[in-house]
Structure 1
């Protein structure tokens, strides 16, 4: 610590002549600070006061310079780290302060002031769980910190954990009985719990300490009004107006009046004196309570214009817009309310539902994370997240991103499992978890399908999913089917009986018939599935493969085109479509093949087959140099592929590069002399060399 003192005394070496000429008082403060540092260099409160004074007198650059130099010399000293972080904070450089506060608690976890600053950072960014972790650390290290207890109470109140909030405010009052705001906050807690007498008692205590504060009394009036306690709401409103110089003279007009009368009188008062956001907000809420919706919206809009930062005004305004079927306006107000720090679950859940309805997955994920950070016991949110991650899994799998897809699959299972544990008697949650386990080939999927059937016996989906799973499940090295075909068909038949228009049931039947070798019946079922759900690419994919295998190439091309229309990211369909177009209808369809392969390359840029076929379309289009480039890229990935060498040789031959053409043809023969390309390459070699 002696060395640290010397570092701090570098402050003394700074030339203060400029500072002295500008602010003598600041120079004197510096001298006092120097004296105190020598006696107590660990005193963070003393450092903070000096930094605060420097900021107040626009001299923050002076301590910032000193502490930067100190940090350069002692980068691991927690005191130096803390004071530099605090100085950055005083200079409104939060982004630089935050990582230093984190470094400080990592270096020395007993510096409670750093935990307090981190707690405030997380609170300001609405990350309440993380804030509470650091507030609890402060409480353990410095239990008499009034600020810690008070600020924890504010977080718990926002989160609706009223018992914890009450305890925190009581602790704050124990350590500082002159803290008026703590009494007000405690009064609000009691008001929220509909304990009007206790609420009023706490407000009276606060009023003695802070007699001229109308705002907190207006806040109490709102809470009473939310609890349908009109009498106490108007009393609290009158109390606020009596301390508000703008309205003190008219407060008696609200004496002994009903809610309906109060609404009329408030409108008259606000017509003459409209510039109070608090009264406009109260008037808006009161009008809403008595069913005067247009007047309510009018006052809330006024309140919003006077105080655009009031999140609660935005929320109520959004609710009224929603009731008026003005959806876009409602969503806009809800979003603004959240952005301003409103974390009411009702609001967040409403936004989550809206984003789901709009298919706005990016915003849904953000809001869902916020909801679960506040209250993780939300089964529907977990279910929707499971749906989202499952969809993302399928996308990434098609793109060939195996590791990413596996992580997404794991998340999907975790959220579905959580939904089932929170609400075990909801059929769709069990069905979802069963389907996810089914995809992993896990026998326990049957249990969740059975539960879904038990909970919703008229739903065809769990029957056909269970039937399809049973038709696939094998055990042992011999891959013996565990379930009898009769059981499988019983489930699938039941599914079709329950819902003859279930595309999924017909698809499942198609799969089973195909496995039994009944291709004709399978194709019939897949055709039904495709008719019933044109947005499902799977039946078209199956039909395309079967048509191609049976030599019905135009039908195959048509089926794969339907897959691509429904799912343009399906790489295998893009590849098969392009291949068939080039192989069986090149003159008419090669341009379509080229477009399909361009899409495929964007999704899977390192697929040798895609690159080779795309190079061939470039060759057909006369883009010979680009064709060479793509053939070479294909060979980098699959170096010994005779087809690519043969096609590359064709390009070289066409461009008159005889030596390169011969080399590529010879390579084709070396790799696969008995293949179709090998035999044709040998003919080409003989022709180029002039051999008959």
Structure 2
């Protein structure tokens, strides 16, 4: 730089000192006119343009300076600063790296690079450069604060807290990052300290909505509902559109079981963030808690669309499907999750539960067993017991009592004191006629639940079946002693007396049951049967008709009326009742048997055979099937015999001359013996 150029340069410095930037620029340009390749002058002019805010001209001058002196690291740093300020982070980073290659002694450049990396969201790389910088300048608070902010973004609150505490302990009087420090303390569960620091932050800046929101969360952690609500309201008043604060407020409301207000705030957030997974998931959980499973499913499905591989969302969606009785949909999700986590006891349990709800007991048993193998659980064990019991009940319903016993025994092997398993065993043994085993199982069930009125009723029925009438009466008495409104106990007593032909005593007990449940068709039918046995047919029919008044489609009462009418030889009237039964319940096999008897009594043998054939094609009563089959054969022989006789009469030669004879008085035909009408095995003589 020559003397004249230097003179202009000195004038430029004086003008800059006096804040006359435009004059300084003119003097520097004059100097450059005399020394155009002087790097110092280009650098000075670039700095002046920066002060004016003309960054494009500043960049041009810095580049001119580099043309004269390409090894000036500080020029690269200045270029980097300008590019960084204008969000050209890649350009800034290139400039800083060039400076680092030229002068690695300038350690502040680590801070520049760290800042750009942070702005680019490259947090791990930024952390490395901040650490390098802090090795040389450990007390640099801004660098430590930036590092703390990054750790918070990375969900590393302990590391963030460490940086804030270093700053606070090193220079407490100049510490300003109370809000960030308080949030970090909250995230590390230092709640009391967080409240203290956040309160200090608010004293310094009472209008900071985010700090009020953090303080609200701290109070919520302390279960200080009043102060939490107050701080949330303050935060939302200051920043009503701050979705992060409103989201936390909604979560706070949900934790207080204030479901409707929680939904209101979640939905406000969701309007601005319709695809936010956390919002959709949390809103789904609120609906699930309110048992609005359809809405829960809707939100979980939307969340899953945003993140199809999120297993937690899938689990809650499956749970809502299950709670909404959509068991197959729930099961499909569980089965899809299992290959990823085949020994997860909860997942195995939920799979078993879905199968259980679908009444697929073998698969339910399988998965309950696998869940127990993975983790012992009383709940799982109890549900496995109930699955065995339900499976046993399924076999019992099909009258496969041996298979039922196998399942009930599997249940008692897990819990010998399970009431339902023991009562199921008792019932199965009863149906197989295994007296001692049935009685033993009933006594075991009674010892487990001695106040269970139903078990005494069933026990009484078992004892009565095995002709232990005194013991049966005692069981029934115990049932009504436990519950004076137990109609089953009174009916059992009545049935027990009927089996001993103690009809008057039976009527007393049936009447007690009827007093509790007036117009009960079952009781009315039983009372009608007693009067039938007492040869009071009119009273029997009266009671059967009352049963029909109570239940117009009661085919048992209709059948019994028909049976009485047959005995009274009122065949056509009986037939009308049986025809009604056919219309109502066409698979009632004994109706066809009764109609066959009527047609046989009326000597309409082809029609009788037709009804008998319908009976044998539908009945499960093997003995009756065989006897009716023989009856059909006999009737067919009778028909053939009649046809043969008729043919012989038609072929007889008539006399050549008519004679007057006395009227041909034929001997009345003998009545074909009619077998007494039987009823299904489940009744005494008439249908109960």
Per the normalisation by structure 1, the TM-score is: 0.41
Q: Relative contact order (C-alpha < 8 Å, sep 6+): which is higher? A: 1
Per the normalisation by structure 2, the TM-score is: 0.41
